[in-house]
């Protein structure tokens, strides 16, 4: 049989027969590691102990001491165990998907009757029985027709739809937790007894549309949390208790700051106490921005669809834009306008008025811009996720050779603001190109290189946040930590070569020719 070479984290290599599993590799290294192993990383991919390795690879073996991999497996396996428990208690329930999320997992079910809080206790009890049974976990690769026929025979229409959506070249992997089976990419643990029976909790029930589509079936979602041990669960439950005490919706109600009501979903009714805080922050930001060389503007809230099409926002954000059809006088058809979802295209219009010289740059424009975005009702959350909001928005129009100095200037500007507000420290993340984006790869290469270089020149080594940039350019995300250790993204700073091109922004350079400015988008308080 063919031989392969596996390279370990310490740089050493060993040769094995092709098809060896990570469990076989772990056992070859030592009997102890073979017993403790829970998964592996093979060429950067998280790998089940039972999956064969067919070619040369870099490999590392994981145990329960590796928090990231251990928690992923624990939460993923518990999602399957929970779904099994639900179907064992209520056999007519249809299963859908159950991904790992921060601190835990959820699984969506189709059931005629509503789950109740009392049901969660029944499900937990059955889950613990499954864990204590130490049922084996095994996996197989099936062909498409076998998988489709299996789910048709078992009346699982959502799984049929999922199998149909798998590309023809991709393997269809099945997992069994004991006698219960699910479609899953894996990896998983080796048996249910590896799960900590005293370190998980089912926390809540919510509604969720199948595949997030409001035109599809409404499902019931059960959430769970899990940790490596009982102490981890206890710490998290204590944190949740402290978070409940600090829930801004509760504080807003008790201190008479604001309220929301169903006649204006996602919009805030500010009370005198809350509005005083709001205007105090706004006045503070005005002073800071004036001192920072910004000029303040105000732009319309209703703008023709044409501008949003030219900027690219219509294509990207159409489902989040509130539109208004107006019977314009003498027009042959209704005009389509939009409530402004963001301020940047309007700021380009301000820049475009009159001829700009290289001597006018950088031009720093700021606005407390009122914006409206349609957010699904299920996503609304107090004043943290709304449909109508004001953004302390700003845009810096500059030359390419000013990106570094303007980035350093903005980081200093933001640092002073956060320090004044009690946040002496913050984390900076670098979000690069998303899959769906405007502009060419060459433009993105230039923008990412410029922003990363400018950030490092300012003395900051950012954490990487792959694929989370804006559709027009990479961005820095400034993350604040609250009193109980939760992280919140607050400020942003983005480099944009795309929008000035789309909206024909130019300035006259020192050479007398027209040039495109670079547009730096920024928000301090959000």
Which residues does the annotation mark as catalytic?
344, 373, 391, 393, 395, 475, 521
Q: From the CA atom positions of the chain, what is the Rg in Å?
A: 27
Look up residue 348 and give its two tokens.
């380009």
> What's the CA angle centered on 184, arms 183 and 190, to 5 degrees?
115
User: CA-to-CA distance for 175 and 182, rounded, in angstroms?
Assistant: 5
226-250 CB burial, b ≥16 within 10 A, e <16: bbeeeebbeebeeeeeeeeeeeeee
- Please state the separation of Cα 371 from the chain's center in Å: 22
Which residues lie below 8 Å from residue 180, measured CB to CB, with a gap of 6+?
80, 83, 84, 87, 88
User: CA-to-CA distance for 162 and 150, rounded, in angstroms?
Assistant: 13
Burial of 35 (0-12, 13-18, 19+ CB in 10 A): exposed
User: CA-to-CA distance for 467 and 433, rounded, in angstroms?
Assistant: 5
Residue ranges of E strands in 264-341 = 269-270, 294-296, 302-304, 323-326, 335-339
Look up residue 85 and give its two tokens.
């428990």
Which residues lie below 8 Å from residue 193, measured CB to CB, with a gap of 6+?
131, 132, 133, 134, 135
Strands 518-523 and 218-226: unpaired
First to last CA, the chain: 60
Nearest to 525 by CA among 369, 295, 405: 369
Q: Rounded to the nearest 10 degrees, what angle do helices 67-89 and 117-132 cross at?
A: 110
**Cross-strand pairs, 6:** 14, 57
């Amino acid at each position: 049989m063919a031989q392969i070479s596996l390279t370990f984290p310490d740089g050493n290599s060993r040769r094995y027969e092709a098809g060896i599993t990570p469990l076989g590799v772990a056992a070859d290294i030592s009997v102890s590691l073979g017993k403790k192993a829970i998964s592996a990383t093979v060429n950067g991919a998280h790998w089940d102990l039972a999956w064969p390795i067919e070619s040369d690879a870099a490999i590392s073996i994981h145990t329960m001491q590796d928090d990231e991999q251990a928690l992923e497996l624990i939460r993923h396996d518990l999602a399957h165990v929970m779904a099994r428990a639900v179907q064992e208690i209520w056999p007519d329930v249809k299963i859908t998907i159950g991904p790992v999320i921060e601190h835990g997992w959820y699984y969506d079910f189709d059931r005629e009757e509503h789950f109740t809080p009392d049901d969660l206790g029944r499900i937990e009890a059955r889950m613990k029985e499954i864990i204590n049974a130490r049922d084996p976990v095994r996996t197989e690769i099936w062909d498409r027709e076998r998988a489709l026929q299996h789910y048709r025979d078992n009346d699982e229409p959502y799984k049929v739809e999922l199998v149909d959506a798998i590309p023809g070249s991709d393997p269809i992997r099945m997992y069994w937790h004991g006698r219960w089976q699910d479609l899953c990419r894996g990896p998983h643990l080796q048996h249910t007894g590896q799960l900590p029976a005293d370190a998980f909790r089912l926390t809540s029930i919510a509604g969720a549309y199948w595949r997030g589509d409001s035109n599809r079936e409404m499902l019931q979602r059960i959430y769970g949390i899990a940790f490596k041990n009982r102490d981890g669960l206890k710490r998290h439950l204590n944190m949740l208790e402290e978070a409940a005490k600090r829930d801004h919706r509760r504080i807003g109600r008790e201190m008479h700051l604001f309220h929301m009501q169903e006649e204006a979903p996602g919009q805030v009714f500010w009370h005198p106490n809350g509005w005083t805080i709001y205007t105090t922050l706004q006045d503070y930001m005005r002073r800071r921005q004036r001192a920072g060389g910004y000029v303040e503007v105000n732009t319309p809230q209703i703008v023709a669809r044409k501008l949003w099409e030219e900027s690219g926002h219509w294509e990207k954000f159409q489902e989040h834009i509130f539109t208004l059809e107006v019977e314009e006088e003498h027009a042959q058809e209704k005009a389509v306008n939009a409530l402004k979802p963001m301020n940047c295209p309007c700021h380009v219009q301000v820049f475009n008025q009159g001829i700009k010289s290289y001597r006018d740059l950088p031009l720093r424009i700021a606005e407390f811009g009122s914006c409206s975005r349609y957010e699904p009702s299920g996503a609304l959350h107090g004043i943290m996720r709304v449909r109508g909001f004001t953004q302390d928005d700003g845009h810096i129009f500059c030359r390419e050779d000013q990106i570094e100095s303007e980035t350093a200037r903005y980081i200093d500007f933001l640092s002073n603001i956060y320090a004044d507000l009690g946040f002496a420290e913050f984390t900076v993340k670098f979000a690069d190109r998303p899959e769906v984006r405007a502009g060419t790869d060459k433009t993105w290469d230039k923008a990412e290189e410029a922003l990363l270089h400018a950030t490092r020149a300012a003395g900051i080594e950012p954490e990487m946040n792959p694929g989370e940039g804006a559709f027009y350019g990479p961005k820095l995300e400034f993350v604040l930590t609250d009193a109980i250790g939760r992280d919140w993204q607050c400020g942003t700073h983005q480099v944009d070569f795309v929008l000035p091109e789309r909206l024909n922004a130019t300035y006259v350079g020192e050479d007398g020719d027209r040039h495109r400015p670079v547009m730096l988008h920024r928000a301090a308080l959000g």
